[in-house]
Amino acid sequence: MTDESAQKIDRHMLEALVCPVTQGRLSYDAAAQELISQTAHLAFPIRNGIPIMLASEARELD
């Protein structure tokens, strides 16, 4: 998979996803390939175009 195809994320899918910790809204950081939960202060990675929605895989935000 090329970098370009890995960065193409279905916007409808993103709108349906919520934070698994808070059930709150997520924002998409295209540059970092992460879904951000401001409420939980977590960033969930997107690997090969697939959001990894596990709290154990999330990066804590400062």
Domains plus CATH for the chain? 3-52 (2.20.25.10)
Model confidence at 13, pLDDT cuts 50, 70, 90, reads confident
Indicate yes or no: pTM above 0.75.
yes
**Which pLDDT score, from 0 to 100, does residue 34 have?**
95
Question: Are the C-beta atoms of residues 43 and 10 closer than 8 Å to each other?
Answer: no
Q: Where are the alpha helices (DSSP H) in the chain?
A: 3-6, 11-16
Render the burial of 3-35: b for 16+ CB within 10 Å, e for the rest. eeeeeebeeeeeeeeebeeeeeebebeeeebbb
DSSP 56: G
